[in-house]
Amino acid sequence: MPNLTIDGQQVDVPVGTTIIQAARKLGISIPHYCYHPALPVAGNCRICLVEVEKQPKLQISCYTPVAEGMIVRTNSPKVLEARQNVLEFLLVNHPLDCPVCDQAGECKLQDYYMKHGLYDSRLADVKIKKEKKAFAIGRTVMLDQERCILCTRCVRFTENITKTHEFGVFNRGDHSQLDLYPGRKLDNNYSGNVVDICPVGALTDRDFRFKCRVWYLEKTKSVCPGCSQGCNITVEWDKMRPHIQKQARVMRLKPRFNSEVNDYWICDKGRYNYHFIDENRIVHPQFNKESISWEQAMDILAGAVNSLKISKRMNRIGVLASAQLTNEDLFVIKKLFKDTLGGALVDFRVPEKPGESDEFLMKADKNPNTAGAEIILGSDTKPQQIVQKARQGEIDLLYVFGHDLSQLFGKEAIYQISKNVKLFVFQGSNVNNTCNYAHLILPSQVYAEKEGTFTNCQSRVQRIWPAFQPLGEARADWEILSLLSERLGSALNFKDPRSIFNEIAATIAPFAELTYEKIGDKGTTLAK
Amino acid sequence: MDNPNQKRRQELEKYFDVQGPFAFLRLAQMKRAWRQGNRRQLTWWENTYIPTLISGIWLTSKHFFRNLGFHILHLVGLCKDVRAAVTYQYPEQKRPLGLRLRTRHRLTKREDDSPRCVACMMCETVCPARCIEITAAEHPDPNIEKYPAEFILDLGKCVYCGFCVEVCPEDAIRMDTGILNTSEYSRESMIYNKKRLMEE
Ligand code: SF4
Ligand code: SF4
Ligand code: SF4
Ligand code: SF4
């Protein structure tokens, strides 16, 4: 293990580590554009220059391996001057676009200019302009070649991560420009990530473009509910002016680094899967299409359950839970329908068509919590049986969590269900076709409004955090069920998701001894 | 109990019952009564109102003759640096405004009458009253890229600080219209949109 000194601090790192990585270990950040921890080193932006003692020239810290006894200075006058000069070169042909550039506020050119640049312009010639200004290069991304600093991060991303090879740098010198290979379009499943890795505003997100300024955004850690991979994300939302974007609060989703799950990336499906949070929501409880209060809704529901309970016909309750729910929600479903009431038919495995998948992140199972549902709920019946019974009128209370039955079982089936079942309850966050047939509709919260945990396909439990207040009167699924249990006179007494999780940990073996603290930001794998 | 003030105070305290609940309200009443009770009686001479009449006439004529004197001196070119009062027949006649005075905002235009504003939202960000709301959109011309689809400025909230003008990188918003009478009959009509801000 070579031992070296950086800015007077000693550090031990394995052979082959580069100076920039060693410095990062010490908490010293060296400015960089082309270096990215997940991509191979290119060493072309030259801003990470550092002074290494006994070497005549400055060295690029992203490509210089450490050696025993090396003495590195990252902020000597020579280094600072070099940094300023490199920045001046990078900005020679850079347009003054910050006012219209979506990157402004999180742009490394702006940041480093304010920190290390601050020189007066010496440019006497006119800036070289590219033929085209911003243009779309695919479904998701806009390219502005004038803003590009040719760091080739995006090129290396498409070469090494997606292996789709869309980008290249063409021409030489002043005329070099980043472009797609002729006849290509950027339309792989991970195209949105190039926007994240581009250190400047050359690649911008078409979906996010001009919606708001990045400094308006609040950020909340979360987990993508788009598939069973459970990529870590941050929900970025606008607190001050949702009315401008048709009441939409969430502006964009960004990947959150987790080396165990998704590294620095997320797929496009997940990235743009946020519109449902603000659109098409159910905001009030409804009975036969009339808005009612929660009190009334609970009266109806508890009345139906109670009458079945008194006549001891609990097997005439069918519950279609969902793997979209958190572990906490599922546990309360189990507690209420399986343990407390006993005998109800509960399952979550509706026959969904497998979605798009690939070898990298995207999984065919589009539910974030299938593994958790399997552990917590298990399965004794089949959803098909429950639906069959409901169609034949052998079930009096059908409780559906968010599924669109008309899509899964056909229009005919759902029509029969709504006719033959005495009380058809739909509990979900968004309006779908099933709502037209359900008798009682209960609004629940989306993942960005509630707290809880998901278990992904690697059996990794990961937390989600509430970003903002729920829309309308929506309540968390566990909360609705706790209310119901109170009405039934067998209160479950759950105060918050944390207390539910503690009980999960106490009663379900794979979760043993876990707490929210132990799960932390990055999640933890369940015991086998 | 020979001090008459003390005696009177006690009488009042008893009358207003300043010890009970809501004593603070009664205390205020008591104080008012105390003040009235302590008012000095006018003398016979004061009761004729002649002294106050004279002092009023004196004050008005002092200003009148001072202004008259200085205006005559100004006419013959003397005492130019001493100012004398003038009357403007507002609203028919308006006072000249200082060049740096901040008056109602306007959005400046390009040659083709489109707004210069590029919807950078700097003014929206800096505005301490949060009275600007911009909806940005993609401009058909890729060289302009971004433009304000709507620009709302709520004059009912604006504090006329001028930060928006100062921060604008495009000289797109100015407070130089000279319009001071922005009063309206409703709050809604104090809200200016892009069109209204661009009217001459
Ligand atoms: S890339 Fe950065 S420096 Fe360039 S215009 Fe955009 S915000 Fe400004
Ligand atoms: S587009 Fe962005 S990431 Fe790609 S080379 Fe240019 S600056 Fe780098
Ligand atoms: S003058 Fe001040 S308060 Fe009024 S719009 Fe401009 S920044 Fe806001
Ligand atoms: S600061 Fe100027 S250019 Fe930017 S949004 Fe305001 S008026 Fe428009």
Q: What is the pLDDT of residues B68-79, one digit of tens each?
A: 999 999 999 988
Query: Is residue B56 in some structural domain?
Result: no
8 Å CB contact between A287 and A314? no
Apex A356 CA angle, A354 and A360, nearest 5: 120
pLDDT tens-digit readout, A104-157: 999 999 999 999 988 888 888 888 888 778 899 999 999 999 999 999 999 999
pLDDT over 80 (residue B88) = yes
Query: Is residue B55 in some structural domain?
Result: no
Burial class (CB in 10 A: 0-12, 13-18, 19+), A412: exposed
Q: At A223, is the pLDDT very low, low, confident or very high (cuts 50, 70, 90)?
A: very high
A383: which residues sit within 8 A by CB, 6+ positions away? A320, A347, A348, A349, A350, A351
Contact B130 A133 (CB under 8 A): no
Judge if the upstream peptide bond of residue A40 is cis by omega within 30 degrees of 0: no
Q: At A234, is the pLDDT very low, low, confident or very high (cuts 50, 70, 90)?
A: very high
B33 and B110 belong to one structural domain: no
Lowest-pLDDT choice from B88-97, B124-133, B159-168: B88-97
Beta-ladder partners of A234: A221, A254
Element (H, E) at A233: strand A232-238
A77: which residues sit within 8 A by CB, 6+ positions away? none
Of A298, A370, A299, A378, which Cα lies nearest the Cα of A333? A378
| Phi-psi sector, A210: left (phi>0), alpha (psi -120 to 50), beta | left
Six-digit token string for A488: 């039934």
| Phi-psi sector, A124: left (phi>0), alpha (psi -120 to 50), beta | alpha
Q: How many CA atoms lie within 13 A of B81 on its CB side?
A: 0
**Considering the domain A286-525 in this protein, what is its CATH number?**
3.40.50.740
pLDDT tens-digit readout, B97-125: 988 999 999 999 999 999 999 999 999 99
Pick among 3.10.20.740, 3.30.70.100, 3.40.190.10, 3.40.50.720: CATH of A3-90: 3.10.20.740
Of A526, A525, A25, A523, which Cα lies nearest the Cα of A256? A523
* % pLDDT > 70, chain A: 100
Six-digit token string for A398: 């059908």
pLDDT over 90 (residue B168) = yes
Query: Is residue B122 in some structural domain?
Result: yes
Q: At B4, is the pLDDT very low, low, confident or very high (cuts 50, 70, 90)?
A: confident
Q: How many CA atoms lie within 13 A of B175 on its CB side?
A: 23
- Residues A281 and A443: their CA atoms lie apart, in Å, by 8
Beta-carbon contacts below 8 Å between A and B: 38
pLDDT over 60 (residue B1) = no
pLDDT at A239: 82
B111 and B33 belong to one structural domain: no
A107 lines ligand 1 (CB under 6 A): yes
Query: Is residue B85 in some structural domain?
Result: no
The domain that contains B119 carries what CATH number? Answer: 3.30.70.3270
Mean pLDDT of A281-300: 94
Contact B118 A100 (CB under 8 A): yes
pLDDT at A490: 83
Burial class (CB in 10 A: 0-12, 13-18, 19+), B154: middle
- Residues A525 and A372: their CA atoms lie apart, in Å, by 12
Q: At A47, is the pLDDT very low, low, confident or very high (cuts 50, 70, 90)?
A: very high
Query: Is residue B179 in some structural domain?
Result: yes
Q: Residue written as tokens 């339309």?
A: A187
pLDDT tens-digit readout, A448-459: 999 999 999 999
- Residues A104 and A210: their CA atoms lie apart, in Å, by 11
Mean of pLDDT over chain B: 89
- Residues A164 and A155: their CA atoms lie apart, in Å, by 10
pLDDT at B21: 67
Six-digit token string for B50: 């002649």
Query: Is residue B163 in some structural domain?
Result: yes
* % pLDDT > 70, chain B: 97
8 Å CB contact between A336 and A430? no
Mean of pLDDT over chain A: 93
Mean pLDDT of B9-13: 79
pLDDT tens-digit readout, B48-68: 999 899 989 999 999 999 999
pLDDT at A166: 96
Six-digit token string for A449: 């409004």
pLDDT at A510: 93
Q: Which residues of A touch B (CB under 8 A)?
A: 97-100, 104, 132-135, 209-213, 215, 240-241, 244
Q: Where are the domains of chain A?
A: 3-90, 98-205, 286-525
pLDDT tens-digit readout, B133-163: 999 999 988 888 899 999 999 999 999 999 9
B193 touching A (Cβ < 8 Å): no
User: Quick one: CATH architecture of A98-205?
Assistant: 2-Layer Sandwich (3.30)
Mean pLDDT of A172-182: 91
- Residues A462 and A454: their CA atoms lie apart, in Å, by 5
pLDDT tens-digit readout, A380-401: 778 888 999 999 989 999 999 9
Q: In A369-443, which ranges are continuous DSSP H helix?
A: 370-376, 383-391, 405-409, 411-420
Buried b (16+ CB within 10 A) or exposed e, A470-509: bbeebbbbbbbbbbbbebbeeebebeebeebbebbbeebe
Mean pLDDT of A370-378: 92
Facing residue for A100 by CB, picked from B133, B135, B146: B146
B170 lines ligand 4 (CB under 6 A): yes
pLDDT at A527: 82
Q: At B20, is the pLDDT very low, low, confident or very high (cuts 50, 70, 90)?
A: low
A141: which residues sit within 8 A by CB, 6+ positions away? A186, A191, A192, A194, A195, A203, A204, A205, A206
Do strands A71-73 and A3-6 pair parallel, antiparallel, or not at all (unpaired)?
parallel
Facing residue for A210 by CB, picked from B130, B146, B169: B146
Nearest CA distance, A477 vs chain B (angstrom): 36
Q: At A183, is the pLDDT very low, low, confident or very high (cuts 50, 70, 90)?
A: very high
pLDDT at B2: 65
Residues 59-98 of B with CB under 8 A from A: none
Query: Is residue B53 in some structural domain?
Result: no
Beta-ladder partners of A3: A12
Residue range(s) defining the domain that contains residue B25: 4-38
Distance between start and end Cα atoms, chain B? 77
Contact A100 B133 (CB under 8 A): no
- Residues B27 and B19: their CA atoms lie apart, in Å, by 9
Of A130, A107, A129, which Cα lies nearest the Cα of A179? A130
Domains held by chain B: number? 2
B117 lines ligand 4 (CB under 6 A): yes
pLDDT at A102: 95
Mean pLDDT of A39-45: 95
Mean pLDDT of A369-374: 94
B2: which residues sit within 8 A by CB, 6+ positions away? none
Decide which of A312 and B116 is more confident.
B116
pLDDT over 90 (residue B19) = no
Contact B125 A213 (CB under 8 A): yes
- Residues A337 and A271: their CA atoms lie apart, in Å, by 35
Q: Model's pTM, two decimal places? A: 0.85
Query: Is residue B93 in some structural domain?
Result: no
pLDDT at A197: 97
